[in-house]
Amino acid sequence: MIESSVLIVFIPTFFVVSVTPGMCMTLALTMGMTIGVKRTFYMMYGELLGVGMVSVAAVSGVAAIMLNYPLLFTTLKYMGGLYLVYLGFQMIRSKGNMSLTVGTSNHLDLSPKTLMIQGFVTAIANPKGWAFMISLLPPFIHPSKPFIPQLGILVMIILTTEFFCLVLYSNGGRSLSRFLEKKGNVRLLNRISGALMMAVGIWLGLG
């Protein structure tokens, strides 16, 4: 098990890092604005799966293999980034499945599977996420105590904190979209959302 003194340090540390705007949080904000919080949950599920895998890999040593063979990283980064840029460009033009149109409800064309994959790819193709997990998690693992229980507790805290922050950002995006819709600025909303989506894509590809 993990000592309470370790948790007292780890929980606020990870919360500060998680709540800070990043690729996944910006993606949650954007999707909350365009497809609503309920459907954004599918993206969150994929993102949480990716974060969980990165966390386990960072401690178990798989991260070293990934870093020594960066081709997989590069491929995932570019594919995920280009797709987000494409979605953002479509949204700026008020076209595509994720853009809003006057007098219609949120689009439901994007399948849950597509949203989950996008969240998953964004999480595992984020090099800063890997670097953070590699640098943060090992110091909190006590070598003289059972490894799996310690890792399980830390990952559970990570996923709980990450989920809370994703919900927070997606709700913020939805509140912003409602404000702009009431003002009749649907096209502006599409442009803001599209620009944010493109920014995440470029960030992912160049990060």
The whole-number pLDDT of residue 103 equals: 44
Range of the domain at 194: 26-99+109-140+149-206
Q: How many CB atoms lie within 10 A of CB 87?
A: 25
pTM comes to 0.74
Enumerate residues 6+ apart whose C-beta is below 8 A from 136.
13, 14, 17
At CA 25, angle to CA 71 and CA 183, rounded to 5?
Answer: 130
CA separation for the pair 12, 60 (Å, rounded): 24
Total domains, the chain = 1
Q: Which residue, chain included where needed, has tokens 């890092």?
A: 17
| Averaged pLDDT score across all residues of the chain | 79
Tell me whether residue 127 is in a domain.
Answer: yes
Instruction: Give me the helix-helix angle, 37-60 and 112-124, nearest 10°.
Output: 40
Residue 191 resides in a domain: yes
Answer whether residue 15 is part of any domain.
no
Residue 125: pLDDT band (50, 70, 90) is confident
pLDDT score, position 204: 66
